[in-house]
Structure 1
Amino acid sequence: MDLKIYKDKQEVAEQFSGYFVDQLKNKDTFHVALSGGSTPKIVFDVLAENFTDKVDWNKVHFYWGDERCVPPTDDESNYKMTVEHLFSKIKVPKENINRILGEKDPEGEALRYANLLEIDLDRVEEVPQFDLVILGMGDDGHTASIFPHEIELWDSEDHCVVATHPDSGQKRVSINGKVINAAKEVAFLVTGASKAEKVEAVVERTEGSEAYPASLVNPASGNLVWFLDEEAASKLNQNPS
């Protein structure tokens, strides 16, 4: 894995944005799974502000790694956040935006979205392959919407699963571990002191770390990049790259 450690959340967002744009070079089409959360929000702001005219958005096809089962107008919607911070500020064809329909029945929507991925993306051993999957990590070590109490969903036969938030009981639709690990490139965006303990466990594979879904991220491509701020990386032994 490649560890990149920066001063704060803003610098993480700026550096990640540069990395994202580099990934698009020499590609005719680019399929990316987005993440929700506070750091991607800043990334979208940076992309909109600095790269609106420097990227051919026609070739970028947007998907989500997970979505809360709420309408697209709900403040909890990852899609709504992306519209407000990115799509409303760039010229991207509507047909390039492939949202998870959080307002639909979760089980049916998981099937529909899995089918969409199977149609739209190239497949490796029958698993849809993204060019890039962007992940966050929760304080509990969850990633996408695979939580520790449902870690078995990671290896689900279905490429998209219905997950349940352990505290709120909120339903979510999420890609599974096979899809994450089939991606050509996987990037974690993790910031804040509250994440430091799980970052240490997952990156340094401390005892018991396998209980955290984030520890199961191990793309077959070998291309795994962590974008961390100093707070999130504070317990690591490694030196910043």
Structure 2
Amino acid sequence: MELKVYKDKQEVAEQFSTYFKEKANSGEFHVALSGGSTPKIVFDVLAEKFSDEIDWSKIHFYWGDERCVPPTDDDSNYKMTVEHLFSKIEVPEANIHRVLGENDPSGEAMRYANLLEINLDRIEGIPQFDLVILGMGDDGHTASIFPHEIGLWNAEDHCVVATHPDSGQKRVSINGKVINTAKEVAFLVTGDSKAEKVKAVLGKTAGSEVYPASLVNPTSGNLVWFLDEDAATGLSPNP
């Protein structure tokens, strides 16, 4: 595991964008995107500073999770990505593989799992992304696997239907097996509201296993955490 701590959210976004460019310019590249405030800034930086430095025709975009809403809804991770990235770069429409949030959640989870099986190489039957980008919620959830549904982590199906614990909103999410099969996994975590869970997950403190983020452990060994100083508060220099 590699830990990278930067001054603030903006610097995290800039450093991650450089990292992404290096990874993505290695040939055909399949990446699972994350929603949230930090990826939004990452997309802005990629569009503004790296649009001409990345061969977007080689990158295939997917989502690690998506809210079950239409693509025009403000809650849609796809809509956010279009506004902050796709609308500003030259990327082939055929390279954008969105979760159809407007469809029946169970049927869509099955369709998306099948899409991943078709498009990605498989390791012991599990689709393998080149990179999975993850965030972490204040409750320790990642993708859309929440603590109250942690059993979905090892679900048989590659994609699952999750339920937000407060709003009840349905979401389609890749499961933990797909996350941990990726060639590389990168966390983007910023803000002091995340500090407590960051400390628990990285320090493997007693009880931290109830947080889905603590289960991220790619078999490749390639796990990178991009944190700002606020999120890293409480970490020892060498966690």
Instruction: Name the TM tier (shorter chain).
Output: over 0.9
2:156 paired with 1:142? no
**Which string of whole-angstrom CA distances, capped at 9 and with x for unpartnered residues, describes residues 71-118 of structure 1?**
000000000000000000000000000000000000000000000000
SS of 1:166's equivalent in the other structure is coil
Quick one: percent identity of the two aligned structures? 80
Alignment root-mean-square deviation, CA: 0.8
Q: Partners in 2 of 1:37 and 1:156 — Cα distance?
A: 24
2:1 paired with 1:8? no
SS of 1:18's equivalent in the other structure is helix
SS of 1:218's equivalent in the other structure is coil
Q: Report the Cα offset of residue 239 of structure 1.
A: 4.8
2:88 paired with 1:89? yes
Q: Partners in 2 of 1:69 and 1:204 — Cα distance?
A: 34
Q: Partners in 2 of 1:238 and 1:123 — Cα distance?
A: 37
SS of 2:75's equivalent in the other structure is coil
Q: Report the Cα offset of residue 235 of structure 1.
A: 1.1
What letter corresponds to residue 15 of structure 1 in structure 2? Q
Gaps of 5+ in 2: none
2:70 paired with 1:71? yes
What letter corresponds to residue 23 of structure 2 in structure 1? Q
2:192 paired with 1:193? yes
Q: Partners in 1 of 2:237 and 2:155 — Cα distance?
A: 33
Q: Report the Cα offset of residue 238 of structure 1.
A: 2.5
What letter corresponds to residue 44 of structure 1 in structure 2? F
Q: Partners in 2 of 1:55 and 1:155 — Cα distance?
A: 34
- Name 1:33's counterpart in structure 2: 32
- Name 1:19's counterpart in structure 2: 19
Superposition pairs of residues 111-126 of structure 1, within 5 angstroms: 111-126=110-125
SS of 1:80's equivalent in the other structure is helix
Q: Partners in 2 of 1:239 and 1:73 — Cα distance?
A: 44
**Which string of whole-angstrom CA distances, capped at 9 and with x for unpartnered residues, describes residues 127-146 of structure 1?**
00000000000000000000
Q: Partners in 2 of 1:229 and 1:28 — Cα distance?
A: 30
- Name 1:172's counterpart in structure 2: 171
**Which string of whole-angstrom CA distances, capped at 9 and with x for unpartnered residues, describes residues 125-169 of structure 1?**
000000000000000000000000000000000000000000000
Q: Partners in 1 of 2:9 and 2:55 — Cα distance?
A: 26
Superposition pairs of residues 193-212 of structure 1, within 5 angstroms: 193-212=192-211
What letter corresponds to residue 166 of structure 1 in structure 2? P
Detail structure 1 runs of 4+ shifted over 6 Å in the superposition.
Answer: none
SS of 2:83's equivalent in the other structure is helix
Q: Partners in 1 of 2:21 and 2:234 — Cα distance?
A: 30
Q: Partners in 2 of 1:49 and 1:28 — Cα distance?
A: 22
SS of 2:54's equivalent in the other structure is coil
- Name 1:223's counterpart in structure 2: 222
Q: Partners in 1 of 2:20 and 2:226 — Cα distance?
A: 12
Aligned residues: 239
Q: Partners in 1 of 2:132 and 2:49 — Cα distance?
A: 22
Q: Partners in 2 of 1:158 and 1:235 — Cα distance?
A: 37
